[in-house]
Amino acid sequence: MTLENLSRNKSFGGWHQQHNHHASSLNCKMRFAIYLPPQATAGTKVPVLYWLSGLTCTDENFMQKAGAHRIAAELGIAIVAPDTSPRGKEVADDPEGAYDLGKGAGFYVNATQPPWQSHYQMYDYVVQELPALIEAQFPVSGRRSIAGHSMGGHGALIIAIRNPEHYQSVSAFSPISNPMNCPWGQKAFSAYLGPQEDTWRQYDASELMRTANRFVPALVDQGEADNFLHTELKPETLLTAAQTSGYPLQLRRHEGYDHSYYFIASFIDEHLRFHRTHLKS
């Protein structure tokens, strides 16, 4: 539970901080960022939105590019952004240096295959270890929502669907909706989880949503000009799965928007207001 503070910057009356800590689930040192709104610094325990970033990202991408601090300060929501994978010299990485496997590409699963299984337990880290740390060390309540982008949108969806008792709402920008059936997901799942597709289904949002019987309100935004739309993201499979189970999914498609943080910054206010509605209720 020992934290090492790396940075602290005032923003919209609250504080953005970066911390290192030893993550027992990942067997390495991890960095995360937290934005504490003014309400938290005044002594009130505030709810938390966990943000999961996409391939190649760290905790910094969302905090620096999304423009979320202003609305989080207005609504009284803390934001926690972990890194996207384990880090360190001892942590396995893709031997060819590919961006879609290894460091920066943890895919929010619990790896079962060597050499990945000793560090790549991102699912346990996000679901169990990190919230326990945040709730013990910062003025936050136990009310949580979760969101993410691309690979992180995949992570947010699977975590919320599998743990509806822990999250009030979930949202995603351009999520990898059906990783079992796209190149990014197939590469990562083969490496981290092995060849058994029954294991893959535990980490596929479309497969999970299709058979869900407990629900978390879900909002997904997808840009129509996204270069990865048809090959990697496949939002139509998620929509079909939601229609099958009756899952409360709102899927919005936006003409002209791509996969970048320009898209996220354009709609992040609406996502935070969506989460605030459910965090209050």
Catalytic residues: 150, 226, 259
Cβ distance 68 to 62 under 8 Å? yes
Q: Which residues contact 42 (CB under 8 A, 6 or more apart)?
A: none
Tokens of 95: 């031997």
46-52 β-sheet, strand order: 4-11, 14-23, 28-36, 78-82, 46-52, 140-149, 170-173, 218-223, 249-254
Please name which of 77, 80, 67 lies closest in space to residue 34, comparing C-alpha atoms. 80
Between strands 140-149 and 170-173, the pairing is parallel
Nearest partner of 187 among 100, 115, 111, 112, judged by Cα = 100
* Pick from 34, 41, 2, 38: nearest CA to 18: 34
